[in-house]
Amino acid sequence: MKNLKNNRIIDAVIKTVKQTRISVFLVGGAVRDFIRNDFNNNDLDFIVSASLDLFVEGFSKKFKGKIIVWNENDRRVVFRMNGENIHVDFALCKGETIYDDLKFRDITINAMAIDVNFVGENFLDYLIDPLNGLRDIYGKKIRVCSDRAFINDPVRVLRVLRFSGRFGYTIDETTINLMKDSSFLITMVAVERVKKEFFSVLNYKNQMFSIEKMIEIGLLKILLPEIIEFKKIKQGFQHQYDLFNHSIQTVDKLKKAEDELIKQFGGKADLFKPNLDELIEECVNRRSLLVFSALLHDSGKTQTVQIKDNRITFNGHEKEGREINLIFSKRIGLGKNAQKIVSAITLNHMRILSLSLLEDLTLRSVKRFIFDLKDILNEVLILSVADAMATGGNADLNNIFRVIAEVLKVYKSLHNVTEIDPLLNGNEIMGLTGFNNTPQIGVILNELRLLECSGQVETREDAVKWLKRRVNIN
């Protein structure tokens, strides 16, 4: 292990300790990650035994930092170091000793500490570990610090899932049972906190495990109660699963779909940017939004299901789903940009399949697809493949990959082209119909664009014929 005394921030804390003669402990994630050989400067938490403001002010001056007061007992110092934004958290000790403080924490691997005066080479010799967190790190286990852990802070249910997903650790049986008993308490937590933890859970590549645990402990039906209705929706002969299990399977196939796309096409176009790790808002990145969208991509089927001649159809479910998922996104606390991404992914998740069903895949239809999707092209391609993989044995993946190959080829050739002209513009529509420049022209333009997106109208001649039928012109 490295010697933490060589860390500039910890060295500044040690110097402040000597100046103020206040006992300070490095705690939580930093201790855990140091033991796991995964230490970084972005997760430093310290417990201050007394005179919190005196100590924080002394530390802050060493970096010309800004002090943020969260509440009576918590402070954050923010500053720039080596071109990066750094934040360091300080909290007043809960209870009379550091041992008391650690027992109030969430899980045992986060409930270890060390006096900053002893962060040298013999780190583990001075480790304060009253709840056997070190043993749980070696055993790769997640265990709560007390039976009241979730009662004290219900959002910890999600934190357990996040750390389990992040590290690949198992959750012990007692903790699982406590999660089942306490999951309903999540409704008492501020939406913003739930959103941050929920999307942090969805961020990790083994998020399927976490979703299965959410189902097991009853948390998913609390966060997204409508998803339970998916179990009532049977699908067509081409589907192996009902709607609920298809949605879960789609999430499960995301990683496989992403890997397969990169394997087959990653070197042919600079497509897989923006990166799925790009942050859209705090604790919410593109990967977590893709998982959320995959889980709910067919939500519109609950409102569009029809049975005719023993055939199940869901015509227009992607449009209905866009509106439903916008409501879900708002309710779970996503900002406007994230809401737009989820809505756009939902609306367009059928586009690749629609293109694969065309007898003649025209250049214009591929260009329209690319320009319509813009910065969610990556997400829609991954979801399209995952959706097909989750359908069952009858999915024609070869046909879907054929379309994707054509999309990539055209995408690479477009360079800085930013838009494609409509088949008919507003002036042409007015000339053909005799309409004045009214809102009806905008409606017609939008309808024509949607028909082009679905492949029903591909050329200017097709558009003129459709328009004449639309307004009853001979």
Q: What is the pLDDT of residues 233-243, one digit of tens each?
A: 887 767 778 89
Check if the beta carbon of residue 25 is closer than 8 Å to that of residue 102. Answer: no
pTM (predicted TM-score): 0.83
- Residue 180's contacts (CB-CB under 8 Å, 6 or more residues apart) are 216, 217, 218
Mean pLDDT within 80-98: 92
CATH 2.30.30 is right for the domain spanning 230-414: no
Residue keyed to tokens 């494609």 = 420
- Find residue 86's DSSP bridge partners: 79
**What percentage of residues in the chain have a pLDDT greater than 90?**
58
Confidence of residue 335 (pLDDT cuts 50, 70, 90): very high
DSSP letter at 172 equals P
The answer, yes or no, to whether residue 451 has pLDDT greater than 80, is no
- Residue 248's contacts (CB-CB under 8 Å, 6 or more residues apart) are 208, 211, 212, 215, 295
DSSP letter at 40 equals -
Q: What is the pLDDT of residues 280-304, one digit of tens each?
A: 999 999 999 999 999 999 999 999 8
Q: Where in the chain is the domain with CATH 1.10.3210?
A: 230-414
Confidence of residue 396 (pLDDT cuts 50, 70, 90): confident
Give the pLDDT score at 434: 76
Check if the beta carbon of residue 301 is closer than 8 Å to that of residue 317. Answer: yes
String of DSSP letters for 387-399 = HHHTT-TT--HHH
Give the pLDDT score at 237: 67
The answer, yes or no, to whether residue 421 has pLDDT greater than 80, is no
Mean pLDDT within 324-338: 96
String of DSSP letters for 177-228 = HHHHHHGGGGGGS-HHHHHHHHHHHHHSTTHHHHHHHHHHHT-HHHHSGGGG
Closest CA to 188 of 153, 212, 239, 157: 153
Give the pLDDT score at 6: 77
Check if the beta carbon of residue 385 is closer than 8 Å to that of residue 260. Answer: yes
- How far CA 465 is from CA of 235, 354, 360, 432, 457, in Å, comes to 35, 22, 19, 11, 9
Check if the beta carbon of residue 313 is closer than 8 Å to that of residue 363. Answer: no
Maximum separation of any 2 CA atoms in the chain, in Å: 93
Q: Where in the chain is the domain with CATH 1.10.110.30?
A: 140-223
3-class SS letters over 449-466: HHHHHCCCCCCHHHHHHH
Q: What is the pLDDT of residues 144-169, one digit of tens each?
A: 999 999 999 999 999 999 999 989 99
Give the pLDDT score at 269: 42
Give the pLDDT score at 416: 53
Closest CA to 161 of 86, 118, 216, 121: 216
**What percentage of residues in the chain have a pLDDT greater than 70?**
93
CATH class of 1-132: alpha beta
The answer, yes or no, to whether residue 2 has pLDDT greater than 60, is no
CA–CA distance, 37 with 380 (Å, rounded to integer): 36
The answer, yes or no, to whether residue 3 has pLDDT greater than 70, is no
**What is the CATH architecture of 140-223?**
Orthogonal Bundle (1.10)
